[in-house]
């Protein structure tokens, strides 16, 4: 047979394999419903290991490398679990559990309302005192997703979120960009001249440096949360105390808005990432973005070489952030955002090319770009 005929036969087999994977995923949807009815976990590690053992035996009988078959089926099982979770999230009778840092009226809470409001099945929103606690709620199975701020156009990167991602337990499944307008809130009837202390989240305070420079009589003091600061002002009954928070927080806690738009930059916006225990499918028509975590090999110019190899594959960087590695003084991890799907041919080739230049290379997630 000629080469063209052989390739046609391979193409026909590939179409059958894809059709069988699609059939497997349709069965997985039924499994998801059965697990939901039985309150069973989506992942049974012991069953997966038994399945892999059988598959290795089948591969050996067929004369195929059992290790390669195991590697292939681990990907298939990850895909199946993600498909089960997506099936459940799409059901009209199952609420999605969302965690975030802050209380009612915080920017994270307002962004979660905009993101998940009107969702079929509804959404259960839960606020936590810290980013770590919100992330842990997902890790421990108390929430399906966490919504965490990761960068702001004025204050820059929110390092705690990057450090949480370095743990390797969570995957980025989406991103949301929210416009942020800060307001100065105080007790009703209080004037600006009476104020002495303004409390808010440190990131919010950092976004309002111009306002504080214009009002040197005001002392900025950090609190855990913007809306939490507003609640504290309402509870304290102190006419010298104010908060920087949202207009929604003023309404929630019965405070007066003394000034609107006190942020230094008019186009102030925060980018949030949605994180989950496992990756999520990306819609076919979505522009995909992939986030990577990279630790560099110890050689001169290695970062530039990595960026050059990514660019040669036609991939565009949208973010590059460094964070120290705690157990290795004066060494750094890099977080890289790249437009493209991690499973695309150009991305896979780029990852293969840069792997030798790293001591750590982790795909944090592929998701629809905001």
Q: Mind telling me the catalytic residues?
A: 270, 272
Ranges of beta strands (E only) in 201-355 are 219-222, 241-245, 256-260, 269-276, 288-296, 316-324, 332-339
- In angstroms, the Cα distances linking 60 to 48, 56, 93, 213, 327 are 18, 6, 44, 73, 43
Name the token pair of 162. 């990057």
φ, ψ of residue 321 to 5 degrees: the values are -135, 135
Report d(CA 278, CA 78) in Å as an integer.
Answer: 8
Of the candidates 204, 227, 208, the residue with the CA atom closest to the CA atom of residue 100: 227
Name the token pair of 157. 């990167």
- In angstroms, the Cα distances linking 79 to 42, 228, 279 are 12, 40, 8
Report d(CA 335, CA 331) in Å as an integer.
Answer: 14
- CA angle, corner 49, sides to 47 and 53, nearest 5? 115
Report d(CA 157, CA 262) in Å as an integer.
Answer: 20
What single string gives the DSSP state of each residue in 299-317? STTHHHHHHHHHHHTT-EE
Report d(CA 291, CA 362) in Å as an integer.
Answer: 9
Name the token pair of 285. 């028509």
Of the candidates 129, 124, 162, the residue with the CA atom closest to the CA atom of residue 145: 124
Report d(CA 345, CA 81) in Å as an integer.
Answer: 23
- In angstroms, the Cα distances linking 332 to 158, 293, 318 are 16, 11, 19
Report d(CA 19, CA 37) in Å as an integer.
Answer: 28
Name the token pair of 106. 């915080």
């Amino acid at each position: 047979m000629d080469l063209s005929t052989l390739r046609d036969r391979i193409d026909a087999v590939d179409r059958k394999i894809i059709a069988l994977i699609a059939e497997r995923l349709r069965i997985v949807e039924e499994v998801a419903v059965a697990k939901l009815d039985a309150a069973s976990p989506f992942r049974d590690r012991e069953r997966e290991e038994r399945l892999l053992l059988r598959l290795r035996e089948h591969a050996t009988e067929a004369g195929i490398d059992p290790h390669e078959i195991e590697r292939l089926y681990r990907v298939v099982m990850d895909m199946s679990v993600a498909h089960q979770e997506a099936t459940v999230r799409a059901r009209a009778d199952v609420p999605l559990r969302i965690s975030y840092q802050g209380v009612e009226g915080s920017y994270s809470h307002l962004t979660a309302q905009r993101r998940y409001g009107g969702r079929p099945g509804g959404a259960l929103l839960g606020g936590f005192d810290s980013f770590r606690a919100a992330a842990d709620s997902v890790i421990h199975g108390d929430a399906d997703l966490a919504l965490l701020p990761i960068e702001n156009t004025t204050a820059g990167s929110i390092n705690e979120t990057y450090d949480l991602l370095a743990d390797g337990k969570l995957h980025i499944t989406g991103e949301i960009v929210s416009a942020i307008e800060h307001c100065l809130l105080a007790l009703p009837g209080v004037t600006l001249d009476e104020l002495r202390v303004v409390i808010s989240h440190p990131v919010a305070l950092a976004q309002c440096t111009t306002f504080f420079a214009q009002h040197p009589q005001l002392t900025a003091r950090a609190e855990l949360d913007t809306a939490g600061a507003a609640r504290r002002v309402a509870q304290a009954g102190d006419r010298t105390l104010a908060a920087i928070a949202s207009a929604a927080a003023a309404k929630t806690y019965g405070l007066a808005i003394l000034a609107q738009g006190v942020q230094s930059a008019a186009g102030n916006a925060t980018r949030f990432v949605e994180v989950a225990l496992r990756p999520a499918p990306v819609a076919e028509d979505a522009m995909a973005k992939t986030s990577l975590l990279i630790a560099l090999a110890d050689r001169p110019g290695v970062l530039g070489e990595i960026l050059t190899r990514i660019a040669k594959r036609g991939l565009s960087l949208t973010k590059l952030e460094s964070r120290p590695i705690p157990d290795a003084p004066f060494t750094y991890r890099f977080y890289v955002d790249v437009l493209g799907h991690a499973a695309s041919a150009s991305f896979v080739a780029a990852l293969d090319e840069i792997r030798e230049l790293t001591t750590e290379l982790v795909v944090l997630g592929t998701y629809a770009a905001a």
